[in-house]
Amino acid sequence: MSRVHRATFLLVLFSLILGQPILAEEAETLILFDPTPPPETPESIVFDRHDNAYITLSTTGEIRKIAPDFSQSSLAFMPIGAPCGMAPTLALGLAIDIFDRLYVAVTACDPSNTGIWKVDTDDGSIELIANAPSATIWNGIDVHRGFIYAADTFDGLVWRIPLHGGSPEIWADDPLLKRPPGAVFPGPNGLQFFRGKIFVANSSTGTIVGIPIRPNGTAGQAFVKATLPFPQGCDEFTFDLFGRIYCTTDPFNTIVRLDPDGSSEILLTADDLLDGPTSVAFGRRGQNRRNLYITNAAFPIFTTTFRPSLMRLRVDIPGAPFEF
């Protein structure tokens, strides 16, 4: 049994010893963000080892820190340079490493600022790790063994960037990552490492695509891990201990759980006050590992309620352990 699978087994066993799993409860709104222009649009969320949450406010470029007691502070501002006409300027995907350093995918007015940035969570200092190639938009990102993996939303690729800086390289290029002709929604969107594979949400096809990492670090054969049961694409997503996938579906206002056996369940809808859910993450310490946190971006082009928020849903199984 591998180290990861052994840890998963023990954590499930302990959770059952400590008490019977509970069913999903009613979602609660923890924080409301400011929707007035320029709106605070929470895009991506990660937790550090102390259970501080970090959220990208995509249209302002802010990285907001939220402590376990839900007090808030501004950690850093990314140099997106908005507004600059019709060009997209956003702070998008967010990832964290074992040392609690943050990595942010940024699309900026100035092309020299578009790429992956590192943020020091101690002092908020920022550093450009790598520039994105011209016209490339990196969206979901994750960190694994010295590299950042980035989903290329429009070109249907996965890039790999050395964690300490260097030239980006195309790591995976597969038909399963492409957008169908005439597709309205993005292609590769959320990206997560889980149990030796990179998983990518192709929003335009409603699929979660898995790509094994070979022993030499190259990409293995891509495959479809899961498919949403209706014409909605997954934005960002996360895994629990059992390998179930929790998807956000902005702008369709649902949280969907995809089970390994192919079944699925809608956990939350707009009736639960979802407003453009873009990202989900489990807490990392103790009982907080059964709490699923949801960011609602409420992007002005989609929302009718203008209610950007951070929500929490208590679920029956803890989130998967942090992998690096």
For the cut 90, the answer to whether the pLDDT of residue 11 exceeds it is no
Q: What is the pLDDT of residues 212-239, one digit of tens each?
A: 999 999 999 999 999 998 878 999 999 9
Q: Tell whether the model's pLDDT for residue 261 goes beyond 50.
A: yes
Torsion sign across C-alpha atoms 127, 133, 137, 139: negative
Q: How far is CA 5 from CA 11, 41, 87, 283, 315, in A?
A: 10, 36, 44, 20, 21
Mean pLDDT of 245-256: 96
- Which of 22-26, 300-304, 309-313, 316-320 has the weakest average pLDDT? 22-26
Q: Does pLDDT of 104 surpass 90?
A: yes
pLDDT of residue 272: 97
**Is residue 248 within 8 Å of 276, Cβ to Cβ?**
no
Is the pTM here over 0.85, yes or no?
A: yes
C-alpha distances (whole Å) from 134 to each of 95, 155, 285 are: 22, 12, 40
Q: What is the pLDDT of residue 243?
A: 97
Q: How far apart are CA 178 and CA 48, in angstroms?
A: 32
- Calculate the average pLDDT of the chain: 91
Is the Cα dihedral 30, 34, 35, 40 positive or negative? negative
Instruction: Judge whether residue 24 has pLDDT over 70.
Output: no
Q: What is the pLDDT of residues 266-294, one digit of tens each?
A: 999 999 999 999 999 999 999 999 999 99
Q: What pLDDT digit, counting tens, does each position of 106-132 carry? A: 999 999 999 999 999 999 999 999 999
Say whether pLDDT at 14 is over 60: no
For residue 45, give the nearest of 27, 28, 63 by alpha carbon: 63
Find the farthest-apart pair of alpha carbons in the chain and give their distance in angstroms, rounded.
57
**Across residues 307-316, what is the average pLDDT?**
97
